[in-house]
Amino acid sequence: MSEALLHAPVPAPLTRLTEDEQLFRDSVRTFAQERIAPLVRRMDEEQQLEPALLRQLFELGLMGIEVPVEYGGAGGSFFDAVLAVETISAVDPAVGVLVDVQNTLVVNALLRWATEEQKKRYLPRLAADTVGAYALSEAGSGSDAFALQTRAELQGDHYVLQGQKLWITNAREAGLFVVFATVDAAAGYKGITAFLVEKGFSGFSLGKKEDKLGIRASSTCELIFDHCKVPVANVLGEVGKGYKIAIETLNEGRIGIGAQMLGLAAGAWGHAAKYAKERKQFGRPIADFQAMQFQLAEMAIEVESSRLMVYNAARLKDARLPFLKEAAMCKYLASQAAESVASKAVEVFGGSGFVKDYPVEKLYRDAKIGKIYEGTSFMQLATISKLVLGSM
């Protein structure tokens, strides 16, 4: 892979950032270009995150962006987390989703629903050295998120969890899991409860690691609960209110996935624009030809429109204003844009885009997951149509 292509430009944000946000974004960008970019191809081929890179993410405070300072975190905003996910994903969406799940799902869940004792126990670890994972999906519960088969039975001072979870991001690296299980099947979704499960708990183990199309450095594994004992003190929120935690956390998480897909699209655009200026045909850079200019212009429009929607949703969330519709819209649009821009980037590279020597082939593979996880594009459209039609 060309050294120059590792440092391809990305379109500058159109939305105004504060000076502190600009400095934060620039520091993350420098880290991503200098520390992550040289590892991308090897991590993708080996399907494994570089351990040293994980330590560096913690050292830079990127794994506990919203964790308050008193718990050892950076004390940043949700928007800061979105900026970090976007910027890292422009270089490697696999690393971007690691940071995303940690911040927008796991940390957010604890900030909103954990007891003070749970916060004191887990937030410092999540900020310092412990990866978190979010375990909701099962074989029979994807879009139908509450068709859970994993059961939790109260036995004295602990619950016993029995069942399996599938497609759990960060599973191999994680030391703490937010797990959803049913304590009362007859109560339907009102029987669902969230638990904080540590990797070392008795009866917990990792199952199959998925061999994926894209974001291959990000681990996606099965979780197995075989009479797994979880202390009553590790119930997150109220018993029977896990459905509320799941819904509201995923609403925020969709903005994070929107940021990941935005970063991916911006990275693909940057590689394509740089290559178009370097690649010559008929004695001229291909960027001189109007057809190529129009293609790059369309790609830039997709990137910037996604950025506006992602940033708007994140700003609304930080301002504690309604953002459900905007979260669904930004995830839908950004995932569409990521696939479209990455595909066009491959075309800009021509035959070189179809081989692994250049980064756009990987970004094209990585883009597909954006329409699937944390709510499929179909589910986003269902949510959006309900909200926009209901407001008429």
Rounded mean pLDDT for each run of 10 residues along the chain, 392 residues in total: 52 72 97 98 97 97 98 97 98 98 98 98 98 95 83 97 97 98 93 97 97 98 98 97 94 97 98 97 97 98 97 96 97 98 98 96 98 95 94 69
What is the structure's pLDDT at 280?
96
Distance CA 26, CA 19 (A): 11
Rounded Cα gap, residues 12 and 357, in angstroms: 26
Residue type, 195: F
pLDDT of residue 7: 55
pLDDT of residue 6: 52
Query: Which pLDDT score, from 0 to 100, does residue 269 have?
Result: 98
Per-residue model confidence (pLDDT) at position 141: 85
Annotated catalytic residue, options 252, 302, 361, 374: 374
**Same fold: 3-131 with 133-241:** no
Q: What are phi and psi of 320, to 5 degrees?
A: 60, 40
How far apart, in whole angstroms, are the C-alpha atoms of residue 376 and residue 258? Answer: 12
pLDDT in tens, 179-201: 999 999 999 899 999 999 999 99
Record: fold of 244-390? Butyryl-CoA Dehydrogenase, subunit A; domain 3 (1.20.140)
Quick check: is 347 catalytic? no
Q: Which two tokens stand for residue 77?
A: 């905003």
Determine contact, residues 374/253, Cβ cutoff 8 Å.
Answer: yes
Q: What is the pLDDT of residue 146?
A: 76
User: CA-to-CA distance for 176 and 64, rounded, in angstroms?
Assistant: 14
- Residue among 14, 10, 129, 21 at smallest CA distance from 81: 21
Q: What is the CA radius of gyration of the chain?
A: 21
| Contact by Cβ (8 Å): 14, 303 | no
pLDDT at 10: 55
* Count of Cβ atoms closer than 10 Å to residue 50 Cβ: 18
pLDDT at 143: 78
Cβ-proximal residues to 309 (8 Å cutoff; 6+ apart), any chain: 258, 326, 329, 330, 333, 334
Nearest to 327 by CA among 338, 337, 316: 316
pLDDT of residue 11: 52
CB atoms within 10 A of CB 311: 24
* Cβ atoms within 10 Å of 355's Cβ, excluding its own: 10
Query: Structural domain boundaries of the chain?
Result: 3-131, 133-241, 244-390
pLDDT value at residue 165: 97
Tokens of 383: 């949510």
Assign a CATH topology to domain 3-131: Butyryl-Coa Dehydrogenase, subunit A; domain 1 (1.10.540)
- Residue 334 · residue 309 · CB < 8 Å: yes
The CATH architecture to which 133-241 belongs is Beta Barrel (2.40)
**What was the pLDDT predicted at 390?**
85
